[in-house]
Amino acid sequence: MSVLNSAQRNAVAELLRVSPVSDELGRRFAAAGHELHLVGGSVRDALLGRLGDDLDFCTDARPEQTLAVVKGWAEAIWETGREFGTIGVQKAGLRIEITTFRAEAYDGISRNPVVAYGDNLLDDLRRRDFTINAMAVSVPGHEFTDPYGGLQDLAARVIRTPDSPEMSFGDDPLRMLRAARFAAKLRFAPDPAVVAAMTAMAADLDRITAERIRDEFTKLLCGADPVTGLRMLVDTGLADRFLPELSGLKLEIDEHAQHKDVYEHTLIVVANAVRLENGGAPDFTLRMAALMHDVGKPATKEVGRDGRVSFHHHEVVGARLTKQRMKALRYPKDVTSDVVQLVALHLRFYGYGRGEWTDSAVRRYVTDAGDLLPRLHKLTRSDCTTRNRRKAAALSADYDALEARIARLQADEDLARVRPDLDGNAIMELLGVPPGPVVGRAWKHLKELRLERGPLAREEAEAELLTWAREQGHLS
């Protein structure tokens, strides 16, 4: 019982923090003859002692009535969610969404819910995804409503549905993905009945648009414990519906560590990447690259005469597969490009410890990574999952040496902005050519020389350009 009392004390403290605004808003709704309740994730987070500045309320008022109540009180108003019954406002640094009671209906075929307004709080709470999100606190009265045992489930750290999970997931299959997302976010365990329904109904996820799946999956991967959520996706078969490459890793043996398969290795790499964020904001690009870095292995697996397994060029195949998958999930092109580049580069470091890298190779490593270099450092370090302490220490020392070498070259040559020693104007003047393809090819040639040999003196760069131009037939 002490756990519940602690949760309630957290909620009171959090609600007092926002009550000057929420109670004032509640009084305005009451004066207009309407109810107003803090609801859903806001109540859950208040009970956990982590209520943020985004507050969710529900009301019996229709959107046009809500607009009339907040007009002249709110510092800003937005109506982008009006067709779903939601009006957004800003007040005293808080972002507030006020949604009319809902009684959503689903036909089992359409990919999105059809919103119908409800007329009471209990029906609204019944249609919510999980019991921990089906609690409400009235304002300004602060009356607590918990018809489905959400507080008890919060204390037990369990994910249950208000209705049967089959009915809940049948209404909106995306809730199955949300169950895994909350497991990752809150480190809660799903009720066995929830897991059974997710497994039996995984194919229903095909009814959901790629964009909605993408958004939920992104939140899952950015959770406090994404590995738990990822395991749920694979174990229930949900991953097969939108990310089959993940479960496809399960049977592949990792050549770096034969005691575990590539699937387990991948989950460790994701966990390592999370740890290297050092408590900062979740880095989706890094985490997604960690998740996808070895997806090219199944297609490139070979077994040698000595029985050793190899995956030659799996980073190339993996980059292609990553691009295809992220495109299918409708990720923005710039995000996809960054993740694909990290996957393509994640193996580049191996071999450095054998002393094969020249300064030219280091320059190319930095130049190819570009702005992604800090993430590439973290991804490469995360990829070291060997249990052999001596080998792990050697790899770590090698990467320390590479970073130190990069820093030295960076100080001398400004590697982040490698450019040819002659710019386009100098090239045109020296060769006597107008703007066009010749200038572009000459610029590229000089950049390759810069990467290979480092900074060149002006006279040396000009001599190299003239030699190249003669060989290409641009000078007589």
What pLDDT digit, counting tens, does each position of 415-473 carry? 555 666 677 788 787 788 888 888 888 877 777 777 677 777 788 777 877 887 788 87
In contact, 22 and 5? CB cutoff 8 Å: no
Evaluate if pTM is beyond 0.85: no
Query: Is the predicted pLDDT of residue 117 greater than 90, yes or no?
Result: no
Which residue in the block uniquely carries the two structure tokens 């050092």?
A: 278
* CATH number of the domain located at residue range(s) 243-416 in this protein: 1.10.3210
Q: Which amino acid is at 27?
A: R
Task: Report the pLDDT value the prediction gives residue 57, as an integer from 0 to 100.
Answer: 97
Q: Where are the alpha helices (DSSP H) in 149-280?
A: 150-156, 165-171, 174-186, 192-200, 210-221, 226-236, 239-242, 244-247, 262-276
Top pLDDT among 13 and 305 is at 305
Give φ, ψ of 357 to 5 degrees: -85, 130
SS3 of residue 87 by DSSP: strand
Greatest CA separation for the chain: 92
CA–CA separation, 423 vs 127, rounded Å? 64
CA gyration radius, the chain: 28
> Nearest CA to 360 among 452, 252, 284?
452
Mean pLDDT of the chain: 86
Q: How far is CA 8 from CA 12, 46, 152, in A?
A: 6, 9, 11
Q: Which residue has better confidence, 386 or 154?
A: 154
Sign of CA dihedral 20, 22, 24, 27: negative
Token pair 């297609």 is at which residue?
A: 299
Contact 135, 146 (CB under 8 A): yes
Residues present in the chain in total: 476
For the stretch 231-283, pLDDT in tens is 999 999 999 999 999 999 986 555 554 445 899 999 999 999 999 998 899 99
pLDDT bucket at 216, cuts 50 / 70 / 90: very high
CATH of domain 2-156: 3.30.460.10
Which helix (H) or strand (E) element contains residue 309? Answer: strand 309-311
Alpha helices in 370-457 (DSSP H): 373-382, 389-413, 424-431, 437-453
Mean pLDDT of 390-414: 80
